[in-house]
Structure 1
């Protein structure tokens, strides 16, 4: 059935252990309250035909369900994702975070030359619902939510009233809610902060759906090919933040463009009961698993600041270089007055850089510029091999400049990929 001009086509995702379904007939606006509805423009129920390359066609009648999209019970122990990952060689910390598959170098190479998959289910996921959710998040973070439509997404930053960075959030605009992915160390405090700013008349509800969902990301130059092989090719080439809803054996899964480590990668949000089979499917298609140890190395290599590390009360959102997540035209929001003043009066005093070191150094080492002039700034993250992240005073260095770290370690200033992509937004009305 061809979609009407007001209808967007959504694809079918994988079945658990079967080839992927090929024919897409679910309209985008049929995903309502987390359920797949089957109605035409006249709202009469219809039947959907799915065609598989290895199975005979079958007809299924779908019915709406009233449950919240991710208000799902944890899976039974025989579907526990940690067991699945452990069987694939994962080594987990006491709190269940996958630290390594004993393949860190292979995984980092796959990010550059193939495709990697990471289980980021320990990252926080927050569902913001209610009629006032758009305006509420518009006022509480740096991005312009009012210009976004259903099926789109963006990065936004939660800041203090003085524009100190709390965290970067990856946001999806869904039909009845906005889903936010945040760091595991800030999820609880962000939920508390958001609830604090809900006034009596506001129609806003904040839910922590972290334990009710699983969350994977895939990244690397071959991830687009992987998406095509998984029958998710309709997302390839779509703008950052674009996301669509699919079904895996009747369970909802949302797949989006981009993630916390790669603008050209993909994110997958799903029921925990589907996570094990989705994970195995990704590995069967050649994805290399990556643990949190390699993830931390990759984060620093990419130059992505993290809460409690490069993002602290010492530095503001512009010093951290998070320009692409900031709107200059959307009006009043928390931290907006400070950000505007910093821009107007050129008040950004320092900048986050990558620094290539000739030898290991200690976190907190002083950075010295121009053979004797010492910045009162420090390396804020332990280095990966010889690569570190540190703040250096503006107008004292350029890319390629030489600095001294600590007493005698020579460093070369570099612009890491994530930081190099950050540019002050234009002052157009839509920014």
Structure 2
């Protein structure tokens, strides 16, 4: 197998193409890693986020959303249930906020401990259709075909590496987490097995193409997780949690006023551009990136316009075509 090549010598477009056609590795070490431990850990997370935790077993994982008391989004996280703790992979710019946020809800009688292990660990994300082949080469081939979020420890590059199913995008892949001392050997092993290393700019383009919302763009206190297309992270029957009343009411009374969609533009369009249909304002752009097919954006679009069959929008004199994206879900499945 050929070794991966240095991302600095390859264009962003070629890095993205490699993610679609083969396998790439993205260094996600700047993403936050928070460990929630002690006896009430599952009950605590069950009460703090949108997904269900009470019945989850070690080796399972899921995406979940932290929300405010009014159901507004704080962050999209991936949770990995371990034997005696839960490891949370959170957005880089929400790590410190979430540590403080979670600590506020730990009361005297709660058996819950928090630890920020970001500096003590490393994280690499494999992305692409050949990621199964690569983890097999690393000795973790039995992860292939397992449910999203499922994970286990494997001896790789002289360290115990947690290999989890899922790239955090709509593309196939795996997330690898290990002690920080193993960062360089693990990266070398992954590249030697054939993964191309990609830059942050390539990952940003991939996440917009796939539709993954991020804090300060699509995930803010202006939006709730139903609007953000994160229906797959929400349990509608698990009972009370922070923000549950608002989210349940929005679902029951069809109160989702806007939806996150992809928009393919005919020309470059700035972020925060207002989108119109005729004389009506129907949405605005939250993220945009240049692709080989032109500018592609993420945008919140009014639900009434979507239900009326809206297919195109205007950004001044630029035409935008609405496109579904793999990571986004617009109804409860």
TM-score, structure 1 normalization:
0.73
Give SS of 1:283's match. Answer: helix
Give, in angstroms, the shift of residue 261 of structure 1. 2.0
2:59 matched residue in structure 1: 151
1:285 pairs, out of 186, 193, 196, with 193
1:380 matched residue in structure 2: 286
Give, in angstroms, the shift of residue 352 of structure 1. 0.6
- Conserved in 1, the CA contact under 8 Å of 2:271 and 2:285? yes
Cα distance in 1, alignment partners of residues 145 and 273 from structure 2: 43
The number of aligned residues is: 326
Taking the TM superposition and a 5 Å limit, the aligned residue runs for 1:24-63 are none
Larger Rg: 1
Q: Does 1:123 align with 2:31?
A: yes
Cα distance in 2, alignment partners of residues 388 and 249 from structure 1: 39
Per-residue Cα deviation, 1:238-258 (whole angstroms, up to 9, x for no partner): 001110012346532111111
1:95 matched residue in structure 2: none
Structure with greater contact order relative to length (CA < 8 Å, sep ≥ 6): 2
Instruction: Mark the CA change 1:232 to 1:400 in structure 2 (over 3 Å): closer, same or farther.
Output: farther
Give SS of 1:418's match. Answer: coil
Give, in angstroms, the shift of residue 362 of structure 1. 1.9
- Please tell me the root mean square deviation across aligned C-alpha atoms, in Å: 1.7
Taking the TM superposition and a 5 Å limit, the aligned residue runs for 1:167-246 are 167-246=75-154
Q: Does 1:404 align with 2:311?
A: no
More strand by percentage: 2
TM-score, structure 2 normalization:
0.94
- Conserved in 1, the CA contact under 8 Å of 2:138 and 2:156? no
Give, in angstroms, the shift of residue 361 of structure 1. 1.4
Moved more, 354-363 or 171-180: 354-363
- Conserved in 1, the CA contact under 8 Å of 2:122 and 2:180? yes
Give, in angstroms, the shift of residue 400 of structure 1. 7.3
Per-residue Cα deviation, 1:97-148 (whole angstroms, up to 9, x for no partner): xxx5643222111111100001100000000001000000000001100121
Q: Does 1:256 align with 2:129?
A: no
- Conserved in 1, the CA contact under 8 Å of 2:128 and 2:171? no
Instruction: Mark the CA change 1:263 to 1:111 in structure 2 (over 3 Å): closer, same or farther.
Output: closer
Q: Does 1:295 align with 2:203?
A: yes
Taking the TM superposition and a 5 Å limit, the aligned residue runs for 1:91-106 are 102-106=10-14
- Conserved in 2, the CA contact under 8 Å of 1:141 and 1:334? yes
2:247 matched residue in structure 1: 339
Cα distance in 2, alignment partners of residues 400 and 238 from structure 1: 38
- Conserved in 2, the CA contact under 8 Å of 1:170 and 1:182? yes
Instruction: Mark the CA change 1:322 to 1:226 in structure 2 (over 3 Å): closer, same or farther.
Output: same
